[in-house]
A and B are shown apart, each in its own frame.
Chain A
């Protein structure tokens, strides 16, 4: 805060610069950078021709397709559900609101394997919800819908928690002005409120999408893991490892890593845009 405008000399008044920065860089290098570098080096070692052959093999393409489609379904659902939750939690007062708010952290806190186990049992033919859906001809478990369900569960807090603070900080003046001018509630939402939360909402959806692409623990339980049908990319990489096909695993992992880093950049841009929007 104050350091921004302070002269260069003043910034080193506090002790521990070398120690804290040194520790941080050392830890990041050993724990994050070197392992990621090992993956990139492995990818370089494979060579472009073989890399392309691995990544464009029918089974890999099918796995990427399943992953992308399921993540898109999950994100589309969370875009609506997450926005609804953020809106309800910020704008209305009702009994049990604090519990509902706390429940939005459950997917963060609950281990993904536990979520996967429970969702699978719950939506299978003899589970509470599956027993009711299966007779209507709706199968969730061992289909792409199950994968999307697991992804939606694990990534919904990202949308809620990104939109919620922005919605809380909105200046009520614009809405009041619109209301005074006779705008309907729907018009106020679509023309006044929504444009203001749009950057944060998009950022939240991007993070949720990225998280869905990388999700593994919850999905292996519910997907059934049939090659070409319900096999996700992360699982295919895992299977390649178990077959000691390290090149195959590394190539698929690199594609997922590339997606993750691009989405991280996009969400950072969106969040910077959202921050400018809020005038922070």
Chain B
């Protein structure tokens, strides 16, 4: 099946995620789709499969213009999308999953289990996997679950299978198994769109590669004719400009030292230090384990081993309360589900983190409450109608400022910010950068996790790059650049 997508535009609200994007897929090829987080890879594929509708542009399948209105319609045409978060029913068996909604029935709608089992075996043989068809999905490994998804795609005679980060949760041997299946599918004339951040995999597996950047089509190349460096160049290649306020770094004593932090499969042997007045940027691809590391430092995720020293003294941190007592503040990645009491007022949100400050012997003190909240709204320039304004009705940037305010008034020695500017408009972004700089100037040790490379480069004194739960390197802010970070983050070495 040949697919040609040309001049695709798509906006969500005022945010244009695809600008003149394109993609060209040939019969029986494995085609990599690469780009930074937010480059528009998934959106483009969701437009192809009818999850989203495009604002403009054309999609040609075997030369004919199409516009699928639902994933089911795309599936009928032979195009199947296997999402990163697998779309399986975990409490049902393999057969039940394979035939969901397409059951083979006898009279009166009674399921013909025998026929379905036979067909299931047939498909598995075609793929070359052997999974017990009556096993419950949740008992299978992630790799096996993925194979079931692939089998499900073949059940409907898929000609094109799109895989979004298929190896993110797989072990090495499972990955090998997946590659074998992909190779055999390619021989049978099935085309695969392979979305991945993993450079080595792409160079091992794919025939061609298309690169998107900021929602725009950059180029399509034969994989044999380019190098990893070329790909990184194409993926970034943008000016940073003066978006980041300058700061005179006055770096003091070491405030926090993390040693050999390990937690199951999430991350292992993570060590780093941050000094007073320093901003440590933490870069890496989505799912690299950055958030998990920080959650563990803050005591919100269980660690198996590792030590944390604050101002030279070892501290025990098993829950957020101990972390707060040790002087750590933590602004989470997801402000809606973890950062705010959304249905509560600005006042209540600032106060809940500072109950000790606004009360005397556990009785709330109105004067102290009003003073703190007023200060918060003014200092952080929260645009609102008043302290009672419900956080639900604030813009993303103002919500983030409330979160910042509530943490800053706990007087943390160490402030961890996970994706502090996600979903925040450019104006508010700069204000948040200013706040971070002011905190650092006051001697706070700042850790900033971010997926936006320009932000990491613009703000950090040092940059820690994490890949698959390991620290791949800590770069000095002055000689770091996007290419170096991306190389480390995708598994290359400098």
Please determine whether chains A and B interact with each other in the same assembly. no
* A residues apposed to B, CB below 8 Å: none
* B residues apposed to A, CB below 8 Å: none
